[in-house]
Amino acid sequence: MSKFDCVTRPWGKYEVLLDGDDCKVKMISVNPKQKPSYQYHHKRNEHWIIISGTGQVKENDEIMSASPGEAFYIPAMSKHTIMNTSEEDQLIFIEVQTGDYFGEDDIVRLEDDYGRV
């Protein structure tokens, strides 16, 4: 995937800003009242920085509020998702992946509202 490709998902979309050997950077937009699957990764850590909107981060069954300026570190093997709690606004955040592999096939889905488990 080249820089600036936009990928649509049932919960929103993401745009790859950087796809390097040492990290991958995405801008992720979650639609109102939606969330990606509750998942974990074997080979990558994720750093999330909330840009706009409000929501909740669920990590290993702990729920934390998420608003602009807040940051979250999701280590490899940690179960996680982010939920947009707004009725009308997008939840937008930057995700910086670190580790030794950044492929989408390193997603292990545990729960999913869209039948992808």
Which residue type does 69 have? G
Rounded average pLDDT over 4-24: 93
- Could you tell me the two tokens for 77? 């093997």
> What was the pLDDT predicted at 4?
66
pLDDT confidence of residue 5: 77
CA distance 92 to 110: 23
Q: Can you tell me the distance from the alpha carbon of 15 to that of 5, in angstroms, rounded to the nearest whole number?
A: 6
CB within 8 A of 62, min separation 6: which ones? none
Instruction: Determine the average pLDDT of the residues in 4-29.
Output: 94
Kindly report, residue by residue over 21-72, the tens digit of the pLDDT: 999 999 999 999 999 999 999 999 999 999 999 999 999 989 999 999 999 9
Residue at token pair 């009242």: 33
- What tens digit of pLDDT does each residue of 64-108 get? 999 999 999 999 999 999 999 999 999 999 999 999 999 999 999
Domains and CATH numbers, the chain: 6-111 (2.60.120.10)
| Residue 3 confidence class, pLDDT cut points 50, 70, 90 | low
d(CA 88, CA 91): 10
* Mean per-residue pLDDT over the chain, rounded: 95
